[in-house]
Amino acid sequence: MERDAGRSMFDTDELVINMGPQHPATHGVLRVVLKLDGEKVVDADVVIGYLHRGVEKLTENRDWTQIVLLTDRLDYVASAAANLAYVETVEKLMSIEVPRRARYVRTILAELQRLASHLVWLGSHAMDIGAITVFLYCLRERELILDLFEEYCGARLTYNSMRIGGLPQDVPSGWLPKVLRFCDVQEEKLAEYETLLTHNRIWLQRTRGIGAITGQAAIAVGLCGPSLRGSGVPRDVRKDEPYAAYDEIPFDIAVGANGDTYDRYLVRLEEMRQSMRIVRQAVEGLPEGPVMAKVPRLIKPPAGETYHANESPKGEIGFFIASDGRSTSPYRLRVRPPSFCNLQALPQLVRGHLVADVIAIIGTIDIVLGEVDR
């Protein structure tokens, strides 16, 4: 009674709003139940599961090679990253030595994929904040990457571009110069996006100090990938537990300082630059040789279990697999999806901000619902 004395004059009530599952800015079928006090967010509740397809269970009835195709459908804007993480996990369990050339091409594909994914992120994030043009510019450049992938493996979205033990085929002739040319184009265009956003007063006002999280808190809540690095934690699987050819190629980890939306934006932009740097070096240092290791026709890993993680564009994507050593399909496969782990930071990030910021924050943690729900 005492406590409410100040409020008794006006009958105030929290407004509960459903954002999604059909909402233009939740990047898929995400539902966020917002409790609002005026326009201020008191609490947020994330409801997921609208895109659940049971991928993990499905794998138990597919043989090991077929599962590559299912991993395409996790993070559908970065299929190659999931492909890579999965095949490397199986290779780890089977102790397959992948040829050096294959590791280099994998690195190129993974980094191109990172660029494509970050472009989609930048575009949709900017569009959520109202800058429509950036979205179209970003997708224009992403198209070039898709063309490169199409030339390599025939597909534009779900690539199925890796095989256990190597790659389905060597790079087509004339492909590598195209990759380098793309890097040059992209370099220019990145500067173009930056003129539209980086020093734009409105952009700064909309992103600085929004959804800030300290490094400690970010680790505690399980953030990963660029969202974690935005808070100044230099954790990158590519450096910490190198895979593919990352141990042979020098690159820098981009880290932010304040852990807000603006820093995460800068981190991802820098990451795109680093990706181009990696691609250029990988193309130039590409060794000759086979692209496929000697693997049995029927993949049947020995009994056992293992976990292996990669740095996908969204963060740390890991696969845990268990094989019983007898059947040709996994006994259990579990994905550690970066989007899912990042999404759980959302309520914490949006509390105390305004409705408009919720959109910015959903954009900045860069989720893909295909991966959240699996």
Task: Determine phi and psi for 361, rounding to 5 degrees.
Answer: -75, -40
Task: Give the E-state strand segments of the chain in sequence order.
Answer: 15-19, 31-37, 40-47, 304-312, 315-323, 332-336
Count of helices and strands (H, E) across the chain: 15, 6
Instruction: Using the rule CB under 8 A, give the single segment among 16-24, 161-169, 224-232, 289-297 that binds another protein.
Output: 16-24
- For another protein, what does the binding mask look like between residues 308 and 347, x meaning CB under 8 A? ----------------------------------------
Q: Name which of residues 91 to 130 contact another protein (CB under 8 A).
A: 126-130
Q: Give the residue with the Cβ less far from another protein, 23 or 332.
A: 23
For tokens 């110069």, the residue is 177
Q: Name which of residues 256 to 315 contact another protein (CB under 8 A).
A: none
Q: Which of 14, 45, 97, 132 binds another protein (CB under 8 A)?
A: 132
23 contacts another protein (rule: CB under 8 A): yes
Instruction: Using the rule CB under 8 A, give the single segment among 108-116, 289-297, 337-345, 351-359 that binds another protein.
Output: 351-359
DSSP class per residue in 32-85: EEEEEETTEEEEEEEE--TT---HHHHGGGS-TTTHHHHHHTTSTTSHHHHHHH
Specify burial of residue 95 (Cβ count, 10 A radius: 0-12, 13-18, 19+): exposed
Q: What is the DSSP letter of 166?
A: B
Task: Please state the closest distance from residue 359 (CB atom) to another protein, in A.
Answer: 5
Task: Please state the closest distance from residue 186 (CB atom) to another protein, in A.
Answer: 15
Q: Name which of residues 195 to 234 contact another protein (CB under 8 A).
A: 196-197, 200, 202-203, 205-206
Give me the torsion for CA of 194, 198, 202, 207, rounded to 10°. Answer: 130
Task: Please state the closest distance from residue 355 (CB atom) to another protein, in A.
Answer: 6
| Rounded distance between C-alpha atoms, residue 92 and residue 165, angstroms | 10
In 3D space, the residue among 309, 289, 290, 167 whose CA is nearest the CA of residue 242 turns out to be: 309
CA angle 90, 102, 294 (to 5 degrees): 60
15 contacts another protein (rule: CB under 8 A): yes
Q: Give the residue with the Cβ less far from another protein, 208 or 277.
A: 208
Instruction: Using the rule CB under 8 A, give the single segment among 71-79, 134-142, 221-229, 324-332 that binds another protein.
Output: 134-142
Cβ pair 62, 55 in contact under 8 A: no
136 contacts another protein (rule: CB under 8 A): yes
17 contacts another protein (rule: CB under 8 A): yes
Which residues contribute to the site for another protein (CB under 8 A)? 15, 17, 23-25, 39, 126-133, 136-137, 140, 196-197, 200, 202-203, 205-206, 354-359
